[in-house]
Structure 1
Amino acid sequence: MVWLTVLTPLFNGIEYFKECYESIVKQTETDWLWIIGVNGHGDDSNPIYQMLSNIADKRIIVKNYLTKGKVNTLNEMMMDVTTPYIALCDCDDVWIPQKLQIQKIILENNRNIDVLGTSCQYIGELNHVLNLPEGKINLETMFKINPIVNSSVILKTQNAFWEDRFGLEDYDLWFRLILENNTICVINQPLIYHRIHKESAFNNSGVQDVNALLKYYREKVSDVTVVTAFYPMKSKFQPSQYIDWIKPFWSQVKCNTVFFTSEEYAPYIQSICSETIRVITMDFSEIEAYKKYSKDFWLGEEEKDHETNHSADLYAIWYEKKEFVKKAIVMNLFLTNKFVWCDAGICRSEAWIPHIQLFPLSHKIPEDKFLILKITDFEKEEDLKFKNSVGGGILAGTKEKWFEFSEQYDSVLQEFVESSKFVGKDQTLIATMYKKNPSFFKLIDRQFDEYMCWFTLLFFLSC
């Protein structure tokens, strides 16, 4: 079975086509088809189609499309593709003879790669080799440059559909694919010659709007509000330690954030936070955990806890996570649809900061599930009191899912109360919620061992 179809939409640039043609038919990898899509020139009587329709190579299909514009033509050409992969080649670009062979070997050994591009040697009005980041491309790189040279790319056929916006249909496609968790890779080796000339339809269109494209995707990945809180209390670490963790993260990672704290700490928190953070002053005595259940209720839970470094205030703040988020949803200061609870001291090392600059990426939060971290296999366990089953440091969902989560949480808590079970630890309650209603949740398996496993979602939501 032929594995690849090359697509060349052809509107102008016919004067360069012979060089392009020879570079493709002389490929050392010969198992391919090539569709040349003449477009924008009327019916089959147009001279460009008439000239090319005499090509004798049976691997090459020359077809006249009545579409106008590269995007419409490419999407129409895809209707004629039957191979699992496609390659793109503009009619004025040239491939080195080993181009397809090199990429085929990589793709055969790495089936997970969805898009594979290469560097290029510029010809025409420029004359230098383009230096690109090599390996797997992340979203952060996408916001800096378009890392895929169009005529170098091979991608899975199932991923090929172009949108006619921003005048940058290729850059837009790579953004869409990476946001859908496809794997995009680049070989920083010039396997093509990319021609720069004034007659190019791309160079002459004048409709490329990179700023609009970047703005569109920045808004798309930032449709999320982070909610956090800091109140000093007895817990595993001293308040001063939490302050040391808070400063690097919340001053350097710029995400839409609602930060609840006391009147005492509000000035300090405000002074260290980035400009995207709104500090909300609220006295700890006003928390819903005390209004609904009283402080004495939480004090009573201390007697059931086998971990001695916990306190009634700590149980209350764990309960309050969802209440803080609900308050932030009602305020919706950043007009977002998704919300993330994030412990204020989540970032334990400043060395992590470069890797979590994009936290949290909205598209990583599902629309129809509530996102939680799975620490251990707990689904078949009967007693979860002594088992660290799920993480509670980061929780994420849409506005609607947060309210559903809150209702389920209170329902399970009430069941525990009626059975005289310990309700202080939110992780136990959340794990129980999952066992009762697994379809509501999306479990993310931990990606690290030991201590680092607790921070999996911090990195998962950042890249």
Structure 2
Amino acid sequence: MSNDLVSIIMPSYNCGRFVEETIRSVQAQTYQNWEIIFMDDCSKDDTIHKVSAMRDKDKRIHLYQNISNLGAAVSRNNALREARGRWIAFLDSDDLWEPEKLEHQIRFMEENGYSFSCTERDQINEESHPLNIYETGPDHIDKNGMFQYCWVGCLTVMYDANVVGLIQVADLKKNNDYAMWLKVIKKTDCHLLRECLAHYRVRKGSISHDSIYKLIKSHYDLFRIGERMNVLQSLFYTCQNLIFGMKKKLCYVKKNYIHE
């Protein structure tokens, strides 16, 4: 394991339209000691062709493919087993980073002795234009806080693998990134870097229209299957998530936000 290397976990499925821009946002980083662990989940578009062309020009990009369509949870698990870096970061293949993301986040963690951190983020549309929606969160999240709600965005997270070790999660179709943070938080608290360094892309059809039943079930499965809790514990934490989800919308999501 390299103590300076950042391993960027990048699962993908049918992101050919966006993946080049996403990878370029990594190549533009002011911190250049990184590797991309690109795990394709049997895309049916031109994702593989585009990533292969970029890999041929940049050997820091490592391209892997699942043997069949296995979902995001298994894709991240597989990618994490290939990671060689001390620092583990996550970026879905349609999202973007600011150029200083890695540099600022590593400095924040090293200067404060943190092993798990996240940053603020905003939202962009399919054309990479801002939607003027800004997401922040609590400065410090301990185990109790993380079980209350998933305060962090996947594309903003970084942790120290020397402290956390290898993380593998249950094969959940939803909330699989949250399942990962529940594993990490048992090893170390999470701290927020108050800078907007990541851009979450909202794609057409990506906003969930699930019924309240499906929403509740996905949270219940997270705790019942992912955390192997009993029925009462799973119901308790599911209710907590619904309550604190409303708190996030009220306290930590700013709409009509204009960057200065």
The alignment's TM-score, normalised by the length of structure 2, stands at: 0.72
Higher alpha-carbon deviation: 28-37 or 122-131? 122-131
The residue aligned with 2:201 is: 195
**Residues 184, 49 of structure 1: CA spacing in aligned structure 2 closer, same or farther, 3 A cutoff?**
same
Aligned to 1:355: none
Give the drift of 1:34: 0.9
Distance 1:7 1:218, change over 3 A: closer
DSSP 3-state at the match of 1:175: helix
5 Å-filtered alignment, 1:237-256, equals none
Amino acid at match of 2:134: V
Do 2:39 and 2:75's aligned partners in 1 also have CA atoms closer than 8 Å? Answer: yes
Q: Structure 1 143/210 Cα, relative in aligned 2: closer, same or farther at 3 Å?
A: farther
Q: What is aligned with 1:107?
A: 109
Distance 2:53 2:32 in 1: 20
When residues 145 and 48 of structure 1 are mapped into structure 2, their CA distance, relative to the original with a 3 A threshold, is: same
**Equivalent residue, structure 1, for 2:67:** 66
Relative distance call for 1:83 and 1:166 in structure 2 (3 A) is same
In the TM superposition, 1:113-262 aligns within 5 A as 113-124=114-125, 126-134=131-139, 136-157=140-161, 158-165=165-172, 167-178=174-185, 180-200=186-206, 203=208, 209=217, 211-212=219-220, 216=224
2:28 aligns with one of 26, 29, 36: 26
Q: Deviations over 1:153-195 (max 9, x none)?
A: 11233142222236101112222332x2422222232110111
- Call closer, same or farther: CA 1:92–1:41 in 2, change over 3 Å: closer
Shift of residue 32, structure 1, vs aligned partner? 0.7
Q: What amino acid maps onto 1:212 in structure 2?
A: Y
Structure exhibiting the larger radius of gyration computed from Cα positions: 1
Change in Cα spacing, 1:54 to 1:181, as seen in structure 2 (3 Å) is closer
In 1, the alpha carbon distance for the partners of 2:210 and 2:60 equals 32
Larger RCO (CA under 8 A, 6+ residues apart): 2
Partner residue of 2:95 out of 72, 93, 96:
93
Aligned residue in 1 for 2:239: none
The whole-number CA distance in structure 2 between the counterparts of 1:16 and 1:156 is: 28
1:176 aligns to what SS in structure 2? helix
Change (3 A) 1:213 1:139: farther
User: Is the aligned partner of 1:51 residue 2:57?
Assistant: no
- Residues 166 and 186 (structure 1), Cα distance of their counterparts in 2 relative to 1, 3 Å cut: farther
SS of 2:170's equivalent in the other structure is coil
Q: Which amino acid aligns with 1:148?
A: V
- Structure 2 CA distance, aligned partners of 1:204 and 1:53? 34
Aligned with 2:119: secondary structure? Answer: strand
Distance in 2 (CA, whole Å) between partners of 1:15 and 1:203 is: 21
How far off is 1:36 after superposition?
Answer: 1.4
Aligned-residue RMSD, C-alpha? 3.1
Secondary structure of the residue aligned to 1:53 is helix
SS in 1 for 2:85: coil
Q: Deviations over 1:57-92 (max 9, x none)?
A: 121112222242111111111222111221110111
Q: C-alpha distance in 2, partners of 1:124/1:212?
A: 30
Code of the aligned partner of 1:35: I
CA distance in 2, matches of 1:163, 1:218: 10
TM-score computed with the length of structure 1 as normaliser: 0.42
Change (3 A) 1:73 1:166: closer
The residue number in structure 1 matching 2:84 is 82
Secondary structure of the 2:152 match is: coil
* Equivalence for 1:303: none
Count of residue pairs the alignment pairs up = 217
Amino acid at match of 1:186: L
Distance in 2 of aligned mates of 1:204 and 1:50: 32
What SS does the corresponding residue of 2:24 show, helix, strand or coil?
helix
Q: Report the identity percentage.
A: 22
Paired amino acid for 1:153: V
User: Any gaps of 5 or more consecutive residues in structure 2?
Assistant: 234-260
Alpha-carbon distance between aligned partners in 1 of 2:61 and 2:159, rounded to the nearest angstrom: 19
CA distance in 2, matches of 1:39, 1:128: 30
Give 1:199 shift: 4.5
Q: Is the 8 A contact 1:166 1:212 kept in 2?
A: no
Per-residue CA deviations over 1:190-226 (Å, capped at 9, x if unaligned) read 11011112354x8589865454157647966x87xxx
Name the amino acid aligned to 1:66. Answer: I
Q: 1:11, 1:41 within 8 Å by CA — same for their partners in 2?
A: yes
Gaps of 5+ in 1: 224-463
Corresponding residue for residue 9 of structure 1 = 11
Q: Deviations over 1:118-141 (max 9, x none)?
A: 11011128431112111x202443
Other structure's SS at 1:189 match: strand
